[in-house]
A and B are shown apart, each in its own frame.
Chain A
């Protein structure tokens, strides 16, 4: 498996993925994560040795489809309880820093 192939992930790409995931890393962390990801992704290449053409995807193991319930209002958390863990709130709403 471990042939002299090109690297699966470079630091630049790790940085891009971190951005997608709303994370950021120091130069040192970036190098460490890139090394770990390279090794794990390399192991995942094992999956390429198996033919899956025409095999259906399994997203869910149970034969349950369209689980419905009555369209009616049930018990809800009171506003005060729903906000009880909020880092910041005002007038019954979550409060966040400016967006732009």
Chain B
């Protein structure tokens, strides 16, 4: 097996068996990036020198019998929204083009402590606002399964890098589906854990009450292995949850007979591509054959989640992005006085979609509209959350749904109408509104040869149940033909 085909699990065993060194593994990935990424453009920056140094350090630890974790010496990529000390962190924005964080995000710190080798930073929609990675200020990423298609977004670079074997795994972020929809589009596993499961410290905020770090990997087992290392309470993030972290990969491939799985009828409509609905039916049959009880359920407020999400996310974004004023970091466009400098800087630094969301959020929070939009949305959020609380209180272990209405779409298909782009998130935003964990597993290829991933939704902090079911459902790895 070529090194770049390997999962974390394969590579940890191969490194242990001294089949190759961490340095060889890293060089193999760097060579593949140099050869293939011209077509895909998953990476914004490649940190080759540091990666080789980190891999050599991993080899030295191994020689001394001081291996730190199954991730020690395994090369990976970070979405360019996660701060890695001394490495450019651009958020795919002109605003942060030259920003070099002087500190590490906690999630990256934990990976670095575990021996992870950072290959570089991967592309995304600007400030994570988008569903296609087309709003990146540095150009779009392409889907490894069809270079005319988008990889999804906002963590499109992360998903494409893993799908194309440019990195063994990647961290992304998910505010309304930004890990899960790209996982579906690119045929990889994507997990958005429960809100608060992974520290957000050092992750550039978009909508703080919805943002969560997620993992894109080749298998559920790999995603589970990474989750165990990055999850947990962090004193730098007061919203990180103080609950114990589990040995998540121990739950993979376990017996799921007797588990109760709900299929919410509100997620299955004519708006969902017929092939996706057919694959969902297949999965239901498969789960029943594995001994699970599958039942139809109802989440009556689902239709309100998308409009509510776009009020809440933009309101929080307008406040979060007020910090980009040219004073402490990032772009500054000089002007005669302070306010003119703010405006000139923000005009030049932000792209069209970011400005659109700042405008929407500012409107929703402005005097006279605050109650009608923002407060109303917080109440709707309660109703959405209660739908899920009710279902899980009835004893359901998880829910099965589509991930998005379609498979990967062509570049440019939705760029002229923001609302049709927002509709991409219809199956994923309710989960962020409720703060729940969700896992997307690759399930099949469509008749067009594009991946279809299915979504499993769990109750708060029950990631292990999703991984148990997901690992039984995930297809053999879907591989793009990159015609090298």
A residues engaging B (CB < 8 A)? 9, 13-14, 17-18, 20-24, 33, 36-37, 39-41, 43-44, 46-48, 50, 52, 55-62, 64, 67, 69, 77, 81-82, 84-88, 94, 96-100
Contact = CB atoms under 8 A, between A and B. Distances in A.
Interface in B349-376: 350, 355-356, 358-360, 362-363, 366, 372-373, 375-376
Contacts of A96: 327, 338, 341
Interface stretch (B64-72, B283-291, B301-309): B301-309
B359 A17 contact: yes
Given A21-B362, A37-B359, A62-B196, 15 more contacts: A17-B359, A17-B366, A21-B322, A36-B418, A37-B356, A37-B363, A52-B383, A55-B382, A58-B382, A58-B385, A61-B385, A64-B196, A84-B100, A84-B102, A85-B100
Main SS of chain B's interface residues? helix
Interface stretch (B120-128, B221-229, B235-243): B235-243
Contacts of B209: 59-61
27 contacts: A9-B363, A21-B362, A22-B325, A22-B339, A24-B343, A33-B356, A40-B422, A41-B360, A43-B307, A43-B310, A47-B308, A47-B376, A50-B301, A57-B379, A57-B382, A58-B385, A61-B435, A62-B196, A62-B241, A64-B196, A64-B238, A85-B101, A85-B328, A94-B327, A97-B335, A97-B338, A98-B337
Contact of B363 (A17, A39, A48, A77): A17
Contact of A86 (B329, B376, B385): B329
B434 interface: yes
Top-9 shortest CB links A-B: A61-B435, A85-B329, A87-B332, A57-B378, A52-B379, A81-B102, A67-B238, A55-B379, A21-B362
B36 interface: no
Contacts of A44: 307, 310-311, 373
B195 interface: yes
Nearest to A81: B102
B209 to A, nearest CB: 6
Interface residues of B, number: 71
Contacts of B301: 50
Given A17-B359, A17-B363, A85-B99, A47 B307 contact: yes
A64 B242 CA distance: 9
Contacts of A13: 363
Q: Which of A22, A69, A82, A97 has most B Cβ within 10 Å? A: A22
Interface of B: 98-103, 195-196, 209, 235, 238-239, 241-242, 301, 303-304, 307-308, 310-311, 318, 322, 325-332, 334-343, 346-347, 350, 355-356, 358-360, 362-363, 366, 372-373, 375-383, 385, 417-419, 422, 434-435, 460
